[in-house]
């Protein structure tokens, strides 16, 4: 580990491991839906499901600068599929950036750098 290596908490590292595959899958699913019907609106139930996952991502990213640019879906705004794809793209990028900052090679082993 480098002397100036940034460290995160074990809780955030574990939450990242749980949420990243889910948000990747959700992003792929909404991209497919958006190709077919970009203007189709989401039901309130889908908004709740998406927001629940985004809230978990926000816990991982709570001390990152990128969080300032990430919003939850407004349930009263009735978002379209294309809106959700854009938001999920931002979250996926922020989560990948988080991993690149706190995960890496430590000698011969790849691992999270935790406190």
pLDDT tens for each residue of 6-19: 899 999 999 999 99
**CA–CA distances in Å: residue 61 to residues 19, 78, 95:** 12, 25, 7
What is the pLDDT averaged over residues 82-89?
96
Q: What is residue 107's predicted lDDT score, i.e. its pLDDT?
A: 85
- Angular region, 97: left φ>0, alpha ψ -120 to 50, beta rest: alpha
Task: Kindly report the pTM of this predicted structure.
Answer: 0.93
Q: How confident is the model at residue 4 (pLDDT cuts 50, 70, 90)?
A: confident
pLDDT in the model for residue 3: 66
Among 19, 79, 15, 18, which Cα is nearest to 47's?
79
- The one-character DSSP state at 43 is P
Helices (H), the chain: 10-36, 44-60, 81-102
Residue pLDDT, tens place only, 32-44: 999 999 999 999 9
């Amino acid at each position: 580990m480098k002397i100036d290596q940034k460290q995160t908490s074990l809780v955030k590292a574990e939450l990242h491991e749980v949420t990243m595959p889910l948000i990747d899958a959700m992003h792929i699913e909404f991209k497919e839906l958006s190709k077919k019907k970009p203007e189709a609106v989401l039901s309130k139930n889908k908004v709740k499901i998406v927001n629940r996952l985004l809230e978990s991502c926000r816990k991982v990213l709570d001390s990152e600068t990128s969080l300032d640019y990430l919003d939850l879906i407004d349930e009263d705004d009735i978002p379209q599929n294309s809106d959700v794809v854009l938001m999920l793209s931002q979250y996926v990028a922020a989560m990948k950036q988080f991993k690149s900052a706190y995960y890496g090679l430590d000698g011969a082993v790849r691992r999270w750098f935790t406190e």
